[in-house]
Each structure stands twice: as C-alpha cells, then as structure tokens.
Structure 1
C-alpha cells in the first residue's frame, strides 16, 4: 500500500495527456546537448496551457515543451502561424476554454490573439485582443480560465503586472483588481480546481477570486511540474508496476469524475482531456487523516467510511463535511464491523456493502437504515468496488472482476476470469 501511495504522488508530477506517467525509458532528452532551452535550468515560462487533448504545453521564447518531460521544440511546429503570420515566435499568455463539446486554445502575442482548435487556427484569426476580449490590455503577462463555480461566472483572468483583469465571458465585461501580495505572474495555469502563478522557476498557488495565497509558497516548479534530475520526483524515481497496485476504495460521482484511493493519497480522473492527477486525501477531505476503508457516492454527496465512522461530504466546487458528522456505521447505515468495500449503482438507492466474504444491502431511502442478512461472495479479499453503466467492478490486489449486476455478483458461485489493472486506468507501468 505504501508503495502505491508513493506512485500516486508521482502522478502529480509526471502525468501526461493519456493519464499515464511516462515509462522510465522515456526519460527526457538533454536539451542543452541539442542546443535547445532546458527547462530544468530554471527557466521563466512565457505561458502555460493544456491543449485540447490534456497535454500541458509550456512556452518559452520560440520554443515549447509538450508534457512534463521531454525536449523542447520550436513553437511553430505545433502552431505554425505564430511565425508565418505574426513573425514573433513567442507567446505572452495562453489558456484553454471549453466551447460546446470541444476545447479551444487562445494564444496571445503583443496585441493579437490566436484561436486554435485541434492545433488548427480558426478562420479569421489572429484578431486584435480588443476585438475578441473588449477591455483586456495588450502585452499581457499571463492568462488562465476560471469556470463558473470556481469564479462567479465563466471567466478568464488576465494578468499584467500586479493587476488582474477579470473578463466575464457571458457579459463580455472586465473588472480590474490589484493583487500586490501575489508575485508578478509570467504564466498562469489551472489544474483541476487549483490555480498556479508561475514566476521565475517557482510557482505560487492562489485563490482565483480573491488572489489569496494559503500555505508555504513559493515552491520550485521542478519538484512538481516536470521531471528533472536531482529535483523532487525526477531523476531515478520509478513508476510502480500495475501488478503492484492495491486500492483501498474507488468511486465515481454524479458528474462522472472517478476517484481512486490508496493510503493517504487519492487520484482523480475527470476526462481523458485532463488526465490522471494525484493529491493527498486531506487536501479535499481534510478530516480523513488516516485514509479510507470504503467510499461511495449518492446524490451529490460522498460517503467515506473509516473504521466504524461514516463521514458524509456535500459535493460542489469543494467537498464540505455535513454538520453532525462523522456518525457511527451502526447509526448511519445499520452496519457493524469492518467494511472492505461499498458501491452504489447509477440511479439506484441501495448501497452494496462488502464485509469479508459477505455482501449486504442497505436501502438509503429507509428510516432507519438497516442492512439485510446478506449473501456469500464467490471471491474473498475484495479491496474496492464500483458500479457503472457497464456493470460492477470489484478489485482485489492488482486485478479486478466484472459482473453485470449486484444480483449476478451475489448469485455467482465461481468468480469470473480476472482482468489486470492497466496503465490507462491507473497511471501505473505495464
């Protein structure tokens, strides 16, 4: 378990567009030997943005890096119009914005904005910044999108010096704020609900509404956002093999986000465009200081079980512990004893609880809640389980088993053929 928890933390530093950290043999080419800029030397990035596939792009001068490791390449290899049209080759600011079922990338150069979809420049671009974003100044330092729920409305934060120009997308209006306590950002980056101001080779995490900085900052980006020799998780660090994976819990919420829990860490998958990302559990659920035994989602709430306690968190932009919790398993679910796994199928109200080699059901609409007598399982030692549109998956070590329904799982006397956890699922090394 400790080994996999460390691997989850590595994903934070090494995640790529397909959600899987690079294999050790994919170590970065020495940029200095190729006559290219080397981000491990502590460069000050001009702009940072994810592309429409989820790969993070770092810009510096006329070059860019795709992902958190690998060599630099000329920017015009991906965005050829930067030189052909504007003949500058550098990017002042960049951000990605969702439009319908796809994402567009906006690149800012002096007083112009370029709009790309799938690395193809949209018709009519580049345009003057004022035409596309009225009230936003030219020669920007940084930009980052801020969707509704994290900001009051769908917005873009444009940075210039200590001023932040908050562009309201629906109304096309701008409000200017002064955040003198925040370093001057040469680039800005949103990673899930976290916002980062990059300055020099450091970064500072900030609140996108107030600009407030909490925690110990600045931190060196080379310890978190790239793989560099002798820094953080770079150098000789290894990615865990999929055959060594062991989970404590797994669940998916009503918005389709999946959560994997192991030891003190959890990994979250939103969409393939955002990849896999790992964080300490306490960053999102601060009361869960000792990890979890089982987790399931019901309506807009997350139920987290540890020992004989149930913690219920209300969802939203941030999870909040509901007043009066934790409560005992007996009080909340009518269950006593250790819980190995718990899962709830979409649009249902019955949670299935695994205890040893028994599965028991609890109707969440009943008052009081009472667990039934249960049924024996064909499979001992289940670590985690989840239910989705394609059926049930129960995890045991580095393998999992698929069942069409809870009834099929309870009625089975022989376990189906086990399936191996893959790098695409967990970001491990095949």
Structure 2
C-alpha cells in the first residue's frame, strides 16, 4: 500500500511539474513579442468591422499595417480559453441580406467557431463549425469572404490544404475545388477587391472563382502589407491628421470608385470597409509623375489636369491612357491658365472648372468645347471640388464648403460657414 501511495504521489508530482513547465513555456512565449518584419507565417488575417486589418500569429495580433503586436486575448479574451492557443482561420462576414451577421468577424479554432462584433463574443458562441457552416471541415488553414459580384453569390472561401470549399451563405451549400497550382494558404485576405493567399512570409494574388494567378508571384508581404525598414512600397505613406489635410483633387468615377489625390499619393475612399490606405499615384496612373492639379470623371473616362495638360484615361481595370494624350488645356477644354479644381455632377455633361475666384462651365458634348457660363466666387485658393447626390463640396485646406448644387455655388455671393474634414470622410486622424 505504501508503495502504491508513493507511486501515485510521484506520478502526480511529475504531471504537476510537467504542467508547470508547459505553462511557464507558454507564458514565456507570450512574453516574447514577435516582430513581423522578421518574416512571419501568419495563422490568420482578416479585417474587422471598422476596416482595421488583423494579423494573427500564435497568441499575438497586429492591428493594421504598422505598429507592434499585442496579445490577442486583450481584444478577444475568449480565444485564450481554447486549448489550441491560436486562430486557424478568420474572415469578416459580408452579407447585406442578414443584418444580424453583417460585419461580424468569425474565428475558427480546431472544430469550433467564434463570432465577434466590436470585440464582443456573440451569444451562443463558440459552437461547432458544422452548426454554423454545414459541410465545412474543421482544422482549417484559411478563410476569406467573397461578396456577390466577385463570386457568383455572397460566399466564403475555406482553405484546407489544396482543397477550397466554396460556401454559399444564403443556401448553406458547399462546393469543393482543388487548386493544386496555388500554394497552401496559411491565411487569406480580401483587400481592395483583390484576393491574397499568404504562405510563409510571402503572398500570391489569385482569382476567387478559379484560383488563377496572373503576374509575378510570390511576393514578400513585407513590401506591401506592413511597414518595415528596408522594405518599401505604398505603406511608407502616412495618413495625415485631419487638421493637416490638403488635397489636390477628388472625384468619383462611373463605377462608384472615389479617389482622393494629395501630392504624390492617392487614396480610395469608397473602400472604407478595408480601411483607408495611401499609394503612389504612379501605381495606377504611371504618367502622372508630378501629381495632379484637378480631376473629374465623365462617361467611362477619368480626366486628369496637370499644369496646362489634360490626360484622359479609360476607366478599365488598369486606367489606360487614351492614345493621343496628353493634350493642352486649350485644345481639350478651350481654356488657359492654372486650374485649381474641377468637378462634374451625376448624369450631367457640364464640367465646372475653378480658376482662382472664377468658376467656368464647359459643355463636354460640344466639339470643340464650349464655355457656357462663368461666375465669380466669394473665395479663392480652392483645392478641390466634388459633386454627388447630396450636393457640392469644395475643399480648402482641412475645411470644406457645402452647397446644395452647382448652380447655388455659382450664384451665391456669400460663402457658407466652412466645416472641418472628418475621419469618416477620408480616413485622416483626429
């Protein structure tokens, strides 16, 4: 009996010691803050409901494209209670038909799924993956949302090895494909309407329906998805404070894409669900090496004005410069001198051009172009103008003036009270 007691005591002591060692190892691992600039294979990547991109590795998460790692349990405390200790896959739900699920962020750990909104766990979670996503396997490698228009229906792509499980959100059905040509994705991300498979410290861009890869891949994620020393790309441009904003031009094209231009950079403003990100203008419009003075969109084209020249680009996927351009302002629009701002209102054929304290209306249906009206303005030094369904905004530094329509702007002799640019408008910092 004494021998049995001693054996049980020794075994218990050994298990306790092993558990203590394991706990100490986990605690030490948590204490070591990883540096993604060293080259990390992420466990999961997803945007949250506010447009912040979350990068998960082990017990840590990075919020955004720059900044240090934090313990994921500080934001999602329930994840720390799961034995796995790390997120297998994650995605943000895009489902406008069901407002209860829209913009919820889903995390997958082993055979369990967690649903969060505003970093709060939804009632009833965690639950088995099969209860929420029937037909989707456990122990996933990656997941990414795919809204209707980019996929056939509102869908989610689930990755496990080279198998891709296409989950239809409305019908809760799954179609499985094998994409052996694509690397095994340890995480996936939909960002600015493109799809990325992350593997090692690299990524490969792919088509969400076929998995087709076009271009030269893989590429190092540190050049594109984080700010690291000795790694350069668009991420080197920092978003200014709202009180420091000074834009050169702003426009919305016929597809609804809204662009802001400032110095050598541009931003897409309609992609706030993916966050606001600045890139070099030459990334899309390679001929615009010195920035732009004014921009407007008409039919399926975007007009860029710099000094006394007009560049016209076809609004296709790559914004191709139309043959024969640039042309002079005089030849294209029938005016001369510096252009401060230009804008067009929806479903109209008149471009409103601001030069100093004068606004000039030019009929784009006439060949050659015809200036139909000109009016004095109650202010000068306007930087940019934008017209939409809610009226006209003209920007001057970090402030703007709002008018109900272009005619009111032209005939009103007293300027309205200026309003300050807000973070919601263009992603600047307060």
Q: TM-score, normalised by structure 1?
A: 0.75
Residue pair 1:308, 1:337 contacting (<8 A) in 2 also: no
- Hey, what's the Cα distance between the residues in 2 that align with 1:189 and 1:210? 16
* Runs of 5+ unmatched residues, structure 1: 1-30
Residue pair 2:310, 2:332 contacting (<8 A) in 1 also: no
- Hey, what's the Cα distance between the residues in 2 that align with 1:415 and 1:184? 59
Matches within 5 A, 1:4-43: 34-43=31-40
- Hey, what's the Cα distance between the residues in 2 that align with 1:46 and 1:293? 44
Q: Deviations over 1:160-185 (max 9, x none)?
A: 223322223334231313142x3222
Residue pair 1:281, 1:289 contacting (<8 A) in 2 also: yes
Distance 1:65 1:244, change over 3 A: closer
Matches within 5 A, 1:393-408: 393-396=393-396, 400-408=400-408
Residue pair 2:363, 2:372 contacting (<8 A) in 1 also: no
- Hey, what's the Cα distance between the residues in 2 that align with 1:237 and 1:251? 21
1:87 and 2:45 matched: no
Matches within 5 A, 1:325-336: 335-336=334-335
Distance 1:304 1:291, change over 3 A: farther
Match of 1:72 in 2: 69
Match of 2:379 in 1: 379
- Hey, what's the Cα distance between the residues in 2 that align with 1:368 and 1:153? 46
Matches within 5 A, 1:222-301: 222-232=222-232, 246-253=246-253, 257-263=257-263, 265-270=265-270, 272-281=272-281, 283-284=283-284, 292-297=292-297, 301=300
Higher alpha-carbon deviation: 136-145 or 37-46? 37-46
Match of 1:97 in 2: 93
Distance 1:287 1:157, change over 3 A: farther
Measure how far apart 1:401 and its partner are: 4.0
Match of 2:209 in 1: 209
Q: Secondary structure at the match of 1:210?
A: coil
- Hey, what's the Cα distance between the residues in 2 that align with 1:124 and 1:298? 50
Match of 2:125 in 1: 125
- Hey, what's the Cα distance between the residues in 2 that align with 1:304 and 1:413? 29
Residue pair 1:92, 1:139 contacting (<8 A) in 2 also: yes
1:45 and 2:4 matched: no
Q: Secondary structure at the match of 1:99?
A: coil
Q: Highest relative contact order (Cα 8 Å, sep 6+), 1 or 2?
A: 1
1:56 and 2:57 matched: no
- Hey, what's the Cα distance between the residues in 2 that align with 1:331 and 1:234? 34
Measure how far apart 1:374 and its partner are: 1.4
- Hey, what's the Cα distance between the residues in 2 that align with 1:327 and 1:419? 35
Measure how far apart 1:382 and its partner are: 3.2
- Hey, what's the Cα distance between the residues in 2 that align with 1:237 and 1:367? 41
Match of 2:411 in 1: 411
- Hey, what's the Cα distance between the residues in 2 that align with 1:284 and 1:393? 25
- Hey, what's the Cα distance between the residues in 2 that align with 1:416 and 1:388? 18
Match of 2:304 in 1: 305
Q: Deviations over 1:349-373 (max 9, x none)?
A: 5432224543222456789974303
* Runs of 5+ unmatched residues, structure 2: 1-27
Measure how far apart 1:259 and its partner are: 1.4
- Hey, what's the Cα distance between the residues in 2 that align with 1:56 and 1:235? 13
Measure how far apart 1:83 and its partner are: 3.9
Residue pair 1:227, 1:234 contacting (<8 A) in 2 also: no
Distance 1:216 1:242, change over 3 A: farther
Match of 2:20 in 1: none
Residue pair 1:329, 1:336 contacting (<8 A) in 2 also: no
Matches within 5 A, 1:159-178: 159-171=159-171, 172-178=173-179
Higher alpha-carbon deviation: 54-63 or 31-40? 31-40
Measure how far apart 1:140 and its partner are: 1.4
Q: TM-score, normalised by structure 2?
A: 0.75
